[in-house]
Structure 1
């Protein structure tokens, strides 16, 4: 952005590459029930990105728990380990990693988690451990984020000048660490907010599907097909009413990544084995004072009468565009005739075929 050519990338892990925060979001709530305590989300949001040791001390103090931070960790960590194995890559992550590999751009992983926990998460993703030039945990440097130590050590091990590194982070703690290391920083916020706190980053995107390598002097993507982007399928169950989809989840956590934001298309399956084509617009709405997911839906095959009062299984397989949320999100998020035309052409193409709409 300021004339420095990027020659390496450094990723955060939790909430940036993997939806670990999404699959573990209710663990603290479940833990605190046993102590008669209720989660304070304002405090937990501010804790995002902290190293576990510091977080454990703060949680024991904030909730006045009758245990030590060490006892807290011993009790809750097995619960986290189980959930981490269920974590999935966030939209566009595998695409970007493969793109960097293809063009010989080294990339590192620098996490505020300790190294052994980082490896548990990474090893559950096929091919990831071998893809990173460097994998670092906070226990391998003097101080974790927001200190720049992790990022500076990653750059040193890659043999790259810090000023030529691009940091990709989801938390304010990580963004501050990247800026303290005098690196360029892209924020991919995992908290659905338009807060100006992320303005200290050099660039803010809602998901890696919106990442543009050429901005940083990197080779551009060349994988768009028929004016859309094939994606790793996003699965969820839902019900349709009055032009909108409501997600139905078997568990408390959503099956739709928090970073899913924009216009997508895909397939809908019914118990009757019928299959329809669909375009959806996914955004977050805060008009009621809190964030809720808003999924506008347009079926481009079949009829609304056939869909009403049925549970459906959705597999989104393509991405068309994002929108400028700071302007008029309700207008930007409308499904346009162009979106329908693009989706219809794509879903008749083999590049967007899908054989089974069923959550993994």
Structure 2
């Protein structure tokens, strides 16, 4: 992009490669409740990307906990470590790092976590340790992010000039650190409703499924099948609040208050497809627009599934969705609430792809999480 040619790629870990936030969600809240304290989401959001030592000191002070920062760390860290094993790779991550490694692109991992904790986290992801030429923790540099030190050191160990390194980050402090190091930065925000905090990045994606290696002079992906991309399954469920017939499809409105999007990571957006299981009427092909909506003044998940086929009345019927493929991103002028999203072309791609073995020709083979 703009003449930039990349010789190495450096990744952040938490929130960029691993969905550790979802895996450890509730740990701090539960810990604070033991001391009669109430978690302040705004304060915790501002701490995103900080080194643990810094955040521990601030948490003890902000919540007036009856302990030192060291005592706090000793108490809460074992709980976090137990949860790390549950952290899943974010959508598009395994595909990207395996692709780059296969084509000989040097990969670095630079996280504010201490080196030992990085090792623990990635040990639960088969093959990851071998994919990275360089792994650096925040305890190996003088200053953690937002200082540029960790990215400068990563570039040095990779044998690359910072100007030829691409950094992929999810936090504002990480983006700032990477820019100050002189690298090119792609942001995949974990704070979806704070786009202005990522404005200094060279490029902003809503998901790594949107990443195009060729924009940076890197080998392009070759894994699309008839305009569709196989993905690791993603799950959601809810009650059908409303159903509207449209051509040969049925648009569903999901009442997520009576279901769960908890298994969906924050960094997904676009047109997905897969299978819809209605409790009474069985399994159907499905294409859906998935994204965050901020039009009401607060953040909310919107999933707008189209059932591809004819079905009967099913208002308030339990619905389970499994997404097995990806079609495309939502363009800047599109929103998930637009009447023609997903489009007829999106539906056609989904319908044909779901007949292929790569996307689970036999819908019954999928295990619907409840």
Q: TM-score, normalised by structure 2?
A: 0.91
Query: In the superposition, relative to structure 1, how do residues 97 and 246 fare at CA in structure 2: closer, same or farther (>3 Å)?
Result: farther
Conserved 8 A contact 2:155-2:165: yes
User: How far apart, in 1, do the equivalents of 2:310 and 2:156 lie?
Assistant: 57
Aligned partner (choices 259, 280, 283) of residue 275 of structure 1: 283
1:298 aligned onto 2:298: no
Contact 1:146–1:176, Cα closer than 8 Å, also in 2: yes
Cα RMSD over matched residues?
2.1
Structure 1 unmatched ranges of 5 or more: none
Show the counterpart of 1:157: 157
Alignment of 1:261-340 (within 5 A): 261-270=269-278, 274-305=282-313, 307-325=314-332, 330-331=337-338, 334-340=341-347
Give, in whole Å, the separation in 1 of the partners of 2:194 and 2:176.
Answer: 18
Q: Give the CA deviation at 1:154.
A: 1.3
Q: CA deviation at 1:194?
A: 4.8
Query: Matched residues in 1 for 2:191 and 2:39: separation?
Result: 17
263-272 vs 18-27, which deviates more?
263-272
Distance 1:227 1:80, change over 3 A: same
- 1:259 is aligned to 267
Q: Using the alignment, how far apart are the partners of 1:212 and 1:97 within structure 2?
A: 13
Residues paired across the two proteins, number: 358
Matches within 5 A, 1:1-360: 1-242=1-242, 243-247=252-256, 254-270=262-278, 274-305=282-313, 307-325=314-332, 330-331=337-338, 334-353=341-360, 355-359=365-369
State the 1:2 CA deviation: 4.0
Normalising by structure 1, what TM-score? 0.94
Supply the distance in 2 between the matched residues of 1:109 and 1:287 (Cα, whole angstroms).
36
Report Cα offsets for 1:249-269 as digits up to 9, x if no partner. 998x81011112111000123
Task: Give the 3 Å change call, closer, same or farther, for CA 127–246 of structure 1 in structure 2.
Answer: farther
Residues 246 and 263 of structure 1, relative CA distance in 2, 3 Å threshold: farther
CA change 1:99–1:28 in 2 (3 A) is: same
Q: 1:333 to 1:284 in 2, by over 3 A?
A: farther
Q: Secondary structure at the match of 2:21?
A: helix
Deviations 1:76-116 (A, max 9, x none): 11111111110000010011011101211111110000011
Alpha-carbon distance change, 171 to 270 in structure 1, aligned in 2, over 3 angstroms: same
Comparing 230-239 and 4-13, the one that deviates more: 230-239
Match of 2:246 in 1: none
- Structure 2: distance between partners of 1:333 and 1:147: 45
Mark the CA change 1:332 to 1:30 in structure 2 (over 3 Å): closer, same or farther. farther
Q: CA deviation at 1:12?
A: 0.2
